[in-house]
Amino acid sequence: MFDQGSRTDLSTEPVKETVVRQRTLKSVIKCTGVGLHSGHNITMTIHPAGVNHGVVFRRIDVTDVDNVVPARWDHVVDTRLCSVLGNKDGVTIGTVEHVMAALAGCGVDNVEIEIDGGEVPIMDGSSEPFVHLIENAGVVEQNAPRRVIRILKRVEVGYGSGHVAISPAETQVMDFQIDFNSNVVKRQEMSLKVVNGAFRKELSKARTFGFLHEVEALWEAGLAKGGSLDNAIVVSHDGIMNKDGLRFDDEFVRHKVLDAIGDLYLAGAPILGRFEGVCSGHAANNKLLQALFADDDAWTWDVLSGDAVHFAVDGGIYADPMDAIV
């Protein structure tokens, strides 16, 4: 059901013009795992949601104040170790980027994510467990066109020794370059069109990583309590500490692209544009969205139809048409 042949069947539908529609899950997803920073066991349940709902988190362990936190760039409250979202009552959700990347990469627009703790479970440090759950649950099309953010002009933000930029393109393109002061990681670069299953195939398995001296400093500060070789690549000065090694030779830059896709999905819709990241991270990604949305001439809402359907931001997961879900 996920193949390209099934996808073309959409064009034979009698009523609708060929248009990329919003999508949600066919059934509920549930997973339990450790929180990278708290070390607590956390359960996350992802429910289907109606059109134009977007991605919304709900902290079910918080009952005395507003426990709803929209997954949007203007709710990002901290970017030092991961992307943290918060609301006006100070309720926060951390480490949202890997599940956001999975939703973006699988083309899921509308879900409500219930969570019983302050951060998304780290799972294996990649997006793959979430992609696997989304595929098992299935995805359905909804009776409304998907709105996308079309970039109209280049926006760039300098940040420390790196920069991030976004410029016009007909689909989502990710260019990334890293250059760590390390014998092991060194310089890596990647350029990828996020179409036709590229997210799932090229990015979803790439794990988060840390340098041993940084990980030790975090532990001393009482942070990264859930961090281990089961959910992160740990790099020492002379090699990779994980006994099974890397999943890709350039797993580091692939994970940085995955993070950026998750952070960019906090725009509230897929972005049609070419992202460029040079030695950047969560803070720069959020600054880029702030700069983009501060400039009305830099972007516009759009809907993909006709030939543009073939350039849709799409994880390659076929969705069943289901007009009943609105």
**Residues taking part in catalysis:** 282
Residues within the interface to Zn ion (CB under 5 A): 208, 259
Question: CB-wise, 259 or 276, nearer to Zn ion?
Answer: 259
How far from 32 is each of 40, 116, 133, 304, 326, CA to CA, in Å?
10, 10, 12, 36, 29
Neighbours of 73 (CB within 10 A): 22
> Residue 28 or 81: which CB sits closer to Zn ion?
81
We find the least distance from the C-beta atom of residue 232 to Zn ion, in angstroms, to be: 9
Q: For the CB of residue 255, give the shortest distance to Zn ion in the complex, in Å.
A: 6
Nearer to Zn ion, 109 or 259 (CB): 259
Rounded to a whole number of angstroms, the minimum distance from the CB of residue 207 to Zn ion is: 8
Q: Tally the residues of the chain.
A: 326
User: Least distance in Å: CB of 305 to Zn ion?
Assistant: 34
The C-alpha R_g of the chain, in whole angstroms, comes to: 19
**CB atoms near residue 183 (< 10 Å):** 11
- In whole angstroms, give the CA distance from residue 26 to residue 321: 11
**Coil, strand or helix at 68:** strand
CB of 258 to Zn ion, least distance (A): 6
For Zn ion, the closer of residues 23 and 207 by Cβ is 207
**Considering beta carbons, is residue 49 or 96 the nearer one to Zn ion?**
96
Distance between start and end Cα atoms, the chain: 22
Q: Which is nearer to Zn ion, 145 or 162 (CB)?
A: 162
Count the alpha carbons within 13 Å of 188 in the hemisphere toward its beta carbon: 18
Strands 147-151 and 233-236: unpaired
The C-alpha torsion from 210 through 266 and 149 to 147, rounded to 10°, is: 130
Q: How far is the CB of 282 from Zn ion (least distance, A)?
A: 8
Q: How far apart are CA 293 and CA 313, in angstroms?
A: 20
Under 8 Å between Cβ of 156 and 292: no
Neighbours of 316 (CB within 10 A): 19
Rounded distance between C-alpha atoms, residue 286 and residue 291, angstroms: 9
